[in-house]
Amino acid sequence: MRLLLTFLFLIGSLQLTLAQTYSITGSITNTATNQAPAEAEVLLVNNGTFAKADRKGNYQIKNLKAGTYTLTAFSLGLTTQTQEITITNADVTLEFALKPLEGTIGEVKVNSERAKDLGVSRLRSTEGTAIYEAKKTEVINMRDVTGNLATNNSRQVFAKVAGLNIWESDGAGLQLGIGGRGLSPNRTSNFNTRQNGYDISADALGYPESYYTPPTEALDRIEVVRGAASLQYGTQFGGMLNFVMKEAPEEKSFELVSRQTGGSFGLFSSFNSVAAQKGQFHFYGFYQYKRGDGWRPNSGFNVHTAFGSLHYQPSEKLEVKLDYTYMDYLAQQPGGLTDAAFAADPRQSVRDRNWFAVNWNLLSLSLDYRLGERTKLNVRNFGLVAERKALGYLEKINRPDPMGERLLLKDKFRNFGNETRLIHRYTLLGHSSTFLVGTRYYHGFTDQKQGNGSAGSGPDFRYYPDNGNPSLSDYDYPSRNLAVFTENIFNITSKLSVTPGLRYEWIRTRAQGRYDVENRDQAGNILLEERVQENRLNTRGLVLFGLGISFKPSDQLEVYGNFSQNYRAINFNDMRIVNANIRIDQNLQDEKGYSLDLGTRGGIAEVVNFDISLFNLVYDNRIGLRPQKDEVLYTNYLLRTNIGKSRNRGVETFVEADVLKLFFGKEHKTSLSVFSNLTLVDADYLIEEEIFKGKKVELAPAVIAKTGTSFKKGNFKLSYQYAYTSEQYTDASNSISEPTAVFGKIPAYWVMDLSGSYTYKRFTLETGLNNLTDNRYFTRRATAYPGPGIIPSDARNYYVTLQFKL
């Protein structure tokens, strides 16, 4: 309550303070002639407003509040110049002197740092060749995250992003599982997941699951865009997630970082990176090795990850970037538990023959070319060569493992794509407007096989006994996707903008192969044995529309709203999968809907930051699990089918304030920040069918709350966090529990984390305790891997990291 009252008082005081307006005036000169250049302009970077200089080179920008502004002056044939100026309580003057170019056209390039914040900030209205005006966005600045980075602890990394439901399926951080606003966290498949702007998932269209997660120790920041991202980033409801890697520092030619981490349950991680620059080249690369035994028996892992990025900039107009990513890991999976087994001992394991292996190779070649002072072209080419292998006994967890042949699944992914974007700034009715147009071509190919594996206990990923041929199914899933999209920021006034957008998608998915059917009675006798050939083709086109509105009464306050249509294609697992617990409806259709945001955000840099918004997500033709009974065997199973329409609505709030700077001013050197992150969700099925009528949407907890505090003094940092997630269902019929534990309630849980770090010269020591109070809880019920059944989360654990930087 005190924090809320302080926040309201601050906003009221801020509006009174900003009632007075000021202006920036000055002149632009050509240093070669000492005269005013022709058609010179000044760009106010903060809001994208252009001011034209007169014949004498004089310019003026009016109606500005007190604050810090960045201005860039340019004119044809002259270099650009960027300066920063602060308005306190009077008009100010700022002069520009532009030099002639030496045979090339200069680039409007603002190298000023992102506004200082308290750990999480927002994307600017335009970043590179993307538009984020009026969209709900968050940027996690990794330099401000104090936590267990060696294990990619997502509970700590994403603490300040409102509304995220997080699956904690493994303690090593091998796979990220987050979902927002009542969408499934399963391998982050409801987000378009990217690294440095290009896709990293298995198949962005047909199998949008992320088996590779970039090590957080290598990240500069993480960008999160909500449902309005559908216009620029394609078919999804959750939004876009972009992991941005570090680059070579500008202030030195060479940097070496070595981080060695040890922790509970045999954890060891060695992360080593090098960065260098010379002339027109700069490079960043890392290698990480990570191993551990896991909290539960049968949960050891070994991971190798490497990355290299080479940038070449032959001129101010052109930059070429080449990225390569490699990951390979092998993990044993302890399987799931029934409710009774979890209550008795959540650390136990009833599976010791389940294994999972992943090999990932990503390649990207991108080009940035500036066609003029206001026009930029970005071309991204990317490709993936990868595979994942899953081996184990996947029958219901309440049945003992008969120690026979295990189920083996092998998926191979081969895909490539191109995304080309052009962004252009222009002046309309005296205000700067921004136009974006882009195209995307995506070619995916997935080879998926399922069959009997070895009867042994080790990671033998070969099919038996049919000479290496899969005995259950063998499918090819080729896919094609062509998209054209456009958005435009129309600045109606210096404070009001309207951003309409449009996207056309052409999608072609295919499933060609065969599957084997084998039905047995309760005694194990074969009732039916059949091999079915299949060739299914689905081609469709659709148009998505969106509109955003932003009103900025000052640089410290914005009111924003956005409407965007969303679409999600059925994926390959919706077409065909062999799973003892789930069957597939052969008449599945794509999912459609829209998302709506309305909110206010703002704050004062380094002092207070807030974002409070309402959302409404309508999901039509939603795919879910419907309980069914086999008419021949009289056994229960789940049918994956279109179950109908759902609506997820709620409020997301984030408020953070530096208490010491709030009362003693920005210059105070010690920082004590407190944050509150609260999301309330009301997610309901709008279906009249009795089994779903009045039911809650699965994996949509009504309350997700995180709060914490961070203390910083000199080179010492200390961070504490409390996270709470209310109970949630795991299927559309809202089952409470059942013997196999595949579906049922996930009880409410809460977790606390404590982390700290200290830097002395070139050395940094980091340590902490996760799950401080040693709670026993779980976040997931798995229908197949890594279960089936309840997947317990890790108990209390510690980590210690020693970093050396040269």
- Of 182, 180, 170, nearest in space to 225 by CA: 180
pLDDT tens-digit series, residues 33-64: 888 887 788 888 877 777 888 888 899 998 88
Who wins on pLDDT, 667 or 747? 747
Q: How far apart are CA 481 and CA 773, in angstroms?
A: 48
Q: How far apart are CA 81 and CA 555, in angstroms?
A: 22
Torsion of CA 392, 397, 399, 401, to 10 degrees: 20
pLDDT at 41: 86
* pLDDT at 155 exceeding the cut of 90: yes
pLDDT at 792: 96
* pLDDT at 631 exceeding the cut of 80: no
Tokens 């995916």 correspond to 444
Confidence label for 577 from pLDDT (cuts 50, 70 and 90): low
Taking CA atoms, 755 is separated from 145, 157, 485, 782, in Å, by: 10, 12, 44, 30
Q: How far apart are CA 513 and CA 496, in angstroms?
A: 55
Q: Which residues contact 637 (CB under 8 A, 6 or more apart)?
A: 581, 582, 583, 627, 628, 629, 630
Confidence label for 757 from pLDDT (cuts 50, 70 and 90): very high
Q: Fold identical between 120-242 and 243-249+267-768+782-797?
A: no
Q: How far apart are CA 577 and CA 513, in angstroms?
A: 12
CB-based contact 187:228 (threshold 8 Å): no
| Average pLDDT taken over every residue of the chain | 89
What average pLDDT score do residues 397-424 get?
A: 94
Q: How far apart are CA 612 and CA 560, in angstroms?
A: 10
- Of 204, 200, 194, 199, nearest in space to 509 by CA: 204
Tokens 């709008």 correspond to 686
CA angle at residue 129 from 590 to 235, to 5 degrees?
Answer: 5
Q: Is 484 exposed, middle or buried (0-12, 13-18, 19+ CB in 10 A)?
A: middle
The token pair at 254 is: 């060479």
Q: How far apart are CA 387 and CA 385, in angstroms?
A: 7
End-to-end CA, the chain: 46
Tokens 């060739």 correspond to 535
* pLDDT at 572 exceeding the cut of 80: no
The gap from C-alpha 775 to its chain's centroid, in whole angstroms, comes to 27
The token pair at 162 is: 């409102």
Residues forming beta bridges with residue 356, ordered by sequence position = 331, 390
Going by their DSSP bridges, the two strands 671-685 and 703-713 should be labelled as: antiparallel
Residue-wise burial string across 394-420, b where 16 or more C-beta atoms lie within 10 A, e elsewhere: bebbbeebeeebbbbbbbbbbbbbbbb
Who wins on pLDDT, 531 or 246? 246
Q: Is 546 exposed, middle or buried (0-12, 13-18, 19+ CB in 10 A)?
A: buried
686 in helix, strand or coil? coil
CB-based contact 60:53 (threshold 8 Å): no
* pLDDT at 567 exceeding the cut of 50: yes
- Of 294, 150, 255, 127, nearest in space to 196 by CA: 127
Going by their DSSP bridges, the two strands 375-392 and 126-127 should be labelled as: unpaired
The token pair at 231 is: 């216009």
Confidence label for 2 from pLDDT (cuts 50, 70 and 90): low
CB-based contact 196:342 (threshold 8 Å): no
pLDDT tens-digit series, residues 96-118: 998 876 433 333 444 444 445 67
Which of the following CATH numbers is that of domain 120-242: 2.170.130.10, 3.30.70.260, 1.25.40.10, 3.40.50.300?
2.170.130.10
Q: Which run of H or E residues covers position 349? A: none
Who wins on pLDDT, 92 or 626? 92
- Of 703, 607, 698, 724, nearest in space to 656 by CA: 607
Share of the chain above pLDDT 70, in %: 92
- Of 107, 132, 139, 576, nearest in space to 313 by CA: 107
Torsion of CA 584, 509, 184, 306, to 10 degrees: 120
CATH number for the region 21-98 comes to 2.60.40.10
Q: How far apart are CA 262 and CA 50, in angstroms?
A: 53
CATH number for the region 243-249+267-768+782-797 comes to 2.40.170.20
- Of 266, 253, 321, 262, nearest in space to 294 by CA: 266
Q: Which run of H or E residues covers position 344? A: helix 339-344
Least confident of 366-380, 467-481, 555-569: 467-481
Confidence label for 466 from pLDDT (cuts 50, 70 and 90): low
Taking CA atoms, 64 is separated from 47, 61, 283, 497, in Å, by: 11, 8, 41, 17
What average pLDDT score do residues 576-588 get?
A: 70
Residue-wise burial string across 615-648, b where 16 or more C-beta atoms lie within 10 A, e elsewhere: bbbbbbbbbbbbeeeeeeeeeebbebbbbbbbbb
Question: What residue ranges do the domains of the chain occupy?
Answer: 21-98, 120-242, 243-249+267-768+782-797
154 in helix, strand or coil? helix
pLDDT tens-digit series, residues 310-369: 999 999 899 999 999 999 999 999 999 999 999 999 999 999 999 999 999 999 999 999
Who wins on pLDDT, 40 or 655? 655
Torsion of CA 659, 662, 667, 668, to 10 degrees: -30
Q: How far apart are CA 626 and CA 678, in angstroms?
A: 32
HEC letters along 424-487? EEEEECCEEEEEEEEEEEEEEEEEEEEEECCCCCCCCCCCCCCCCCCCCEEEEEEEEEEEEEEE
Who wins on pLDDT, 463 or 587? 463
CB-based contact 600:8 (threshold 8 Å): no
What average pLDDT score do residues 645-657 get?
A: 95
Confidence label for 534 from pLDDT (cuts 50, 70 and 90): confident
pLDDT at 18: 44
